[in-house]
Amino acid sequence: MMNKLQLKPRELKIISVIAATHSIGDAAAFLGMAQANVSKYLSDFETRIGLKVFERTTRHLALTQFGEALLPYVNAALDKNSLLINFIADYKHEKRGKVTIYAPTGIVNYLARQVIHQIEEIGDIRISLKTSNLGRNEFSEGAPFPDDCDILITYAQPKDESLVASVLAKYSITAFATAEYLEKHPINCPEELINHSCILIDSMLVDDANIWRFHDRESGEIHDYRVTGNYICDNTQSALELARNHLGIVFAPKESLKNEIISGMLIPCFPHQDEWWLDLTAIFRKREYQPWRVQYVLDGILNCLRQQIAQAALGRPEQEN
């Protein structure tokens, strides 16, 4: 059985230039190669395929009948190779195309409000923000990375260990309600949540309840509390809207509610010591697998988030090295 021919773009280029110049010497000068190397490339190619491409005359080289038939295929292959090289260069270096970012509802809103507009000179990049809330098992099992995702910002490590996970900060999650709700329904500690209407997240339901975590302010240990309520939402933003209307207590990221806390629209139900701290993590493919547009947006988001987190770091637990 005949072995498959391995045709290298370089030797095809040499054949094309020789055909255009009708001379080994002129082809060598054009290509910036030694004449002996050009001659050897041609000789090795003809030996490997078992056919002559050029006829040697006293003055110049002329294509054989086979060479005449071969040349259009050689040039077509070079054109395709050039298109492929240009495509790869564009894919890696051009600021165009879509970059898809997934995050939980609160983080998506925070990115839209505080981060995305600070990424300058995005050129023809299109940024797509999509919601991805963690399921009840994904805190421990790892966050899935959607097929169309370029950057995932979430509260868990990735399920796929080949991905890069960069921890940005400790992120506070705690219970919030309106002053009006708390005036009518006072609460002093997480143990009393069982007596309150808590606004639930559908993806976190276990036997018609959610599990909320808090630190024990005395021991420092984490305790889980089973909470129930009249309202169930499929995202945190809807749950917050219900809480703003005095319908119960919501469990939400503190960082995403700066405006509400400052205005007094929502207030924490418990002291700072009771807050549950999660690692806010950016997940992405290794840089050698990313087009440049993704690297550009990723660097913009990470730099912005780190600056904002550094400014708001007062009061957070120290991060482990």
Residue 289 is classified by DSSP as G
Q: Cβ distance 226 to 209 under 8 Å?
A: yes
Nearest 10 degrees: Cα torsion 192, 194, 197, 201: 120
For residues 239-258, one letter each, b for 16 or more C-beta atoms within 10 angstroms of the residue's C-beta and e for the rest, the string is: bbebbbeebbbbbbbbbbbe
**pLDDT per residue of the chain (321 residues) written in tens, 0 to 9:** 345 777 888 888 999 999 999 989 888 888 888 999 999 999 999 998 899 999 987 678 889 999 999 999 998 988 888 777 766 666 666 677 889 999 987 788 889 988 999 998 888 899 999 988 887 678 778 999 999 999 999 988 999 999 999 988 777 889 999 999 999 999 999 999 999 999 998 877 888 999 898 888 777 788 889 999 999 998 888 999 999 999 999 998 887 788 889 999 999 999 877 888 878 899 999 988 888 889 999 999 999 888 877 765 554 444 443
The domains located in the chain, with CATH, are: 9-93 (1.10.10.10), 96-167+280-311 (3.40.190.10), 172-276 (3.40.190.290)
Tell me which DSSP letter residue 235 carries: S
User: CA triplet 115, 104, 106: central angle to 5 degrees?
Assistant: 60
Q: Between β-strands 151-154 and 210-215, what pairing exists: parallel, antiparallel or unpaired?
A: unpaired
288-301, pLDDT tens digit by residue? 888 888 999 999 99
